[in-house]
Amino acid sequence: MGHGKPPSSPGDADHRRHAIVPGVGPDRGDPGMTHGAAFWFHCSSAVLRRPHLWFTAIRQISRAVPIRWWTRSPFVPLPDRAYVRFRLETAYGEDASPRVADVLRYLEWCWGTD
């Protein structure tokens, strides 16, 4: 075979592992896709009333937060906008409208698979 550097493949160290996605990075969190504070208040309240879901909810939140989130603005543990958009769109279509009951059902499913 020939000498020289072989073509780049996804496993190569110099290959870009992640695509450049608009909205990922310093402007994490997508208010249009993640609903307002009232939705998250109702979700949190519902989970707090179910102690068996506490650990599962914390684990699922921690999995969605980017690694080393404290090194990037806004310095709060928010999931990447592209990730949230992808998850909601694959679950609900373009008109993402999750309900508290859906969040609880998801956490119950995760709890049951531990």
CA atoms within 13 A on the CB side of 26: 1
pLDDT mean by block of 10 residues, the chain; 114 residues: 51 46 49 68 94 93 87 83 81 81 92 74
Separation CA 76–CA 98 (nearest Å):
23
| Contact present, 41 and 100 (Cβ < 8 Å) | no
Note the pTM of the prediction, 2 decimals. Answer: 0.61
Place of tokens 């990730």: 83
